[in-house]
Amino acid sequence: MALELRHLRYLIAVAEHGSFTRAAEALRISQPTLSQQVKQLERTVGAQLLDRTGRAVRLTDAGTTYVHHARGALRDLAAAQRAVQDLADLTRGHLRLALTPTFTAYLVGPLVAGLHEAHPGITLEVLEMPQGDIEAGLLADDHDLGLAFRGPHLPGITATPLFTETLGLVVAATTTDDETEAGAGAGAGAGAGADPGPLPVRDLVARRLALLSGDFATRGHVDAYLAAHGVRPHIAVEANSVQALTEIVRRTSLATVLPDAVTHDHPHLRPVALEPALPSRTVTLLRRESAYESAASRAFTALATRLVRARGYPGAQ
């Protein structure tokens, strides 16, 4: 029997679902057909690839080895297909971009607008996810590029620095300096209209905060900063989107922590200097080592580099 790509996909589906029935449903073929195709593959390979004796179908040792190489073969074939379809003149193309969610608040819009204006024939797929999932997806060839933060990274991931992201405490633009001080318990003796100066981080103990939820890299960054200074503020709200967080803060007396680029672009938010300032972090473009780099990927990388320079982001490469 001649080996065909569908045999590899069928075997991988059974391995992932642990069941012929569930795999057949996912593949939209009948269970008997799937079983027959996998048996044909086993005869061609000359080894039993699946253990069917338990409640769940499992890979044998031979099957585990075979699936590892099958996944690599399918990934390389998909890259080859994209390479053939890729045109260096950028009249068409497709780019799969994965990013951590905070970038949607200030960076994705300008990047997509710039790419569409310069190369309208390129289609773009944008997915938000945690950084660990981005890197795993790059290794599995589910994405072409990732937009996240500098390491540590999974083996096989290459990171190219773009710029330095700075963060700060943010309140509603209508909040006065006296209100900010009073909310932090640091306003005693401050004259009306006086410049209160930076807010000591220890005074955040008395502030009620709205922060991004724990699955955001930004929240981990903020938690590490607070822990390093022994501060445990009252976290009144947790939100899983930057847009929700900005709406909450602009309409309440709560404070939050956001990238400065978000605050500067938002007319209803006002930064409050902290002492010491929150540590900055390096924004990077991630890709799989030795992966095929399409013309669309090269164009996007060049665009991103130009855009962060034009916007004056610190440390722009």
Residue 37 domain flag: yes
Residue 290 domain flag: yes
Residue 227 domain flag: yes
Cβ pair 294, 89 in contact under 8 A? no
Tell me the DSSP string of 53-92: SSSS-EE-HHHHHHHHHHHHHHHHHHHHHHHHH--TT-SS
> Three-class SS of residue 128?
strand
Same domain, 157 and 296: yes
Side-chain-side CA neighbours of 145 within 13 Å: the count stands at 21
Residue ranges making up the domain that contains 78: 5-83
Same domain, 242 and 304: no
Same domain, 171 and 270: yes
For residue 130, name the pLDDT band (cuts at 50, 70, 90). Answer: confident
Q: What is the CATH number of the domain that holds 101?
A: 3.40.190.10
Looking at the 3D structure of the chain, how many domains does it have?
3
For residue 179, name the pLDDT band (cuts at 50, 70, 90). Answer: low
Residue 316 domain flag: no
Phi-psi region of 193 (alpha: psi -120 to 50; beta: other; left: phi over 0): left
Cβ pair 289, 254 in contact under 8 A? no
Residue 317 domain flag: no
Question: Is 226 or 73 the better-scoring residue by pLDDT?
Answer: 226
- Choose one of 50, 83, 116: the last residue of a domain: 83
Same domain, 157 and 179: no
Same domain, 47 and 191: no
Same domain, 174 and 270: yes
Residue 75 domain flag: yes
Same domain, 255 and 174: yes
Helix H, strand E, coil C: the string for 130-199 is CHHHHHHHHHCCCCCEEEEECCCCCCCEEEEEEEEECEEEEEECCCCHHHHHHHHCCCCCCCCCCCCCCE
Tell me the two tokens of residue 108: 């994705």
User: What is the dihedral sign for C-alpha 273, 278, 279, 282?
Assistant: negative
Q: What is the CATH number of the domain that holds 19?
A: 1.10.10.10
Question: Is 229 or 294 the better-scoring residue by pLDDT?
Answer: 229
Dihedrals φ, ψ of 127, to 5°?
-130, 135
Single pTM value for the model: 0.68
- Per DSSP, 30 falls in state -
Query: Is pLDDT above 80 for 196?
Result: no
Helices and strands per DSSP (H, E), number in the chain: 11, 14
Query: Is pLDDT above 90 for 295?
Result: no
Same domain, 25 and 151: no
Q: How many CB atoms lie under 10 A from the CB of residue 189? A: 7
In angstroms, what CA-CA distances link 41 with 78, 170, 247? 21, 60, 56
Same domain, 193 and 269: yes
Strand 274-275 and strand 199-200: the pairing is parallel
Residue 315 domain flag: no
Same domain, 100 and 153: yes
Same domain, 189 and 98: no
- In degrees to the nearest 10, what's the CA dihedral of 30, 34, 36, 40? 150
Question: What is the structure's pLDDT at 65?
Answer: 93
Strand 269-272 and strand 167-172: the pairing is antiparallel
Same domain, 179 and 237: yes
Question: What is the structure's pLDDT at 186?
Answer: 42
In angstroms, what CA-CA distances link 129 with 38, 284, 291? 34, 15, 21
Beta bridge partners of 237: 210
Question: Is 198 or 93 the better-scoring residue by pLDDT?
Answer: 198
